[in-house]
């Protein structure tokens, strides 16, 4: 069996060309440039790299990125004030609060302070609830990126058994709701699930989002499955043992180059959508 490589990098590149044209139209019609505000609290180098990558992606499509950098000593109240200011700034069309924030900050309270119409990363409880109920909202960027990647390669979802390994509020849970919304039968598992191998073996579509390197073993996965690895760890490995699978699954995401580019691309796409609603 020759597996389909679900190339997120290629899909993201194609989408950027389309987004560049949409941004050009926004500028022509309104005389304004779409702006994504990024908030980085503290000096975590990985977070700083991610924020820089998102800023670069903005510039590639003609958007602007406003980088707000706050010290590691920032309090919840100070961060909430910053978010409120951005909510009230009509020139800002999307707000990204880089996860994680320092431990003294109530991260959930700060996520939920982001205005729904500017929640282009899909992190608020309100946005999650609306998405789960099938109402308009920006989807959480990583699972929404995965759904777009499956769509780009015409992967059937309706009627399939999807198994999501992971239950985080910004990946596993919204992923399950999005798959359910496309008529999959969804099982949510996690690191404490009993007899996890037998459940993984039932998956027509498997999403690894547990945050542990190669936690999901290739031998658990049935032939012909669609395998999506949403993890990334040092050494370029994900949450799934991928190497033995490439000759016996129907499709799989590479690590890196699969889910990661789609996450950033979805953030930018949703920022453009937000700007269109305001400016176009």
Catalytic residue list: 54, 98, 121
In contact, 216 and 210? CB cutoff 8 Å: yes
Give the start-end residues of each E strand in 55-157.
64-70, 94-97
As a whole number of angstroms, the distance between CA 12 and CA 8 comes to 6
Q: Which long-range contacts (CB under 8 A, 24 or more apart) does 107-112 make?
A: 109/76, 109/80, 110/76, 110/79, 110/80, 110/83
As a whole number of angstroms, the distance between CA 177 and CA 272 comes to 24
SS3 109: helix
Residues in contact with 75: Cβ distance below 8 Å, sequence separation at least 6, in sequence order: 104, 105
* Cα dihedral 258, 262, 265, 269 in deg (nearest 10): 150
Please name which of 53, 57, 44 lies closest in space to residue 17, comparing C-alpha atoms: 57
């Amino acid at each position: 069996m020759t597996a389909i490589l679900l190339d997120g990098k290629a899909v993201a590149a194609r989408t950027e060309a389309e987004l560049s044209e949409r941004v050009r139209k926004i500028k022509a019609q309104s005389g304004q440039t779409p702006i994504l505000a990024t908030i980085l609290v503290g000096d975590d180098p990985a977070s700083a790299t991610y924020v820089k990558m998102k800023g670069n992606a903005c510039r590639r499509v003609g958007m602007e990125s406003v980088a707000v950098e706050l010290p590691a000593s920032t309090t919840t109240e100070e961060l909430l004030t910053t978010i409120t200011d951005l909510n009230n700034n009509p020139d800002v069309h999307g707000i990204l609060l880089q996860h994680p924030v320092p431990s003294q900050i109530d991260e959930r309270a700060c996520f939920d302070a982001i205005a729904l119409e500017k929640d282009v990363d899909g992190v608020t409880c309100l946005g999650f609830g609306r998405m789960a109920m099938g109402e308009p909202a920006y989807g959480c960027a990583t699972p929404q990126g995965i759904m777009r990647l499956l769509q780009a390669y015409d992967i059937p979802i309706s009627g399939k058994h999807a198994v999501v390994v992971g239950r985080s509020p910004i990946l596993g849970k919204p992923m399950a709701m999005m798959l359910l919304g496309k008529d999959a039968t969804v099982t949510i598992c996690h690191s404490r699930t009993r007899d996890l191998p037998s459940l993984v073996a039932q998956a027509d579509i498997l999403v690894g989002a547990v945050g542990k390197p190669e936690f999901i073993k290739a031998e658990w996965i049935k032939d012909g499955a669609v395998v999506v690895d949403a993890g990334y760890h040092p050494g370029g490995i994900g949450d799934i043992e991928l190497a033995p699978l490439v000759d016996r699954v129907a499709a799989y995401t590479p690590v890196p180059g699969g889910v990661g580019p789609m996450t950033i691309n979805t953030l930018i796409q949703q920022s453009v959508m937000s700007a269109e609603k305001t400016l176009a």
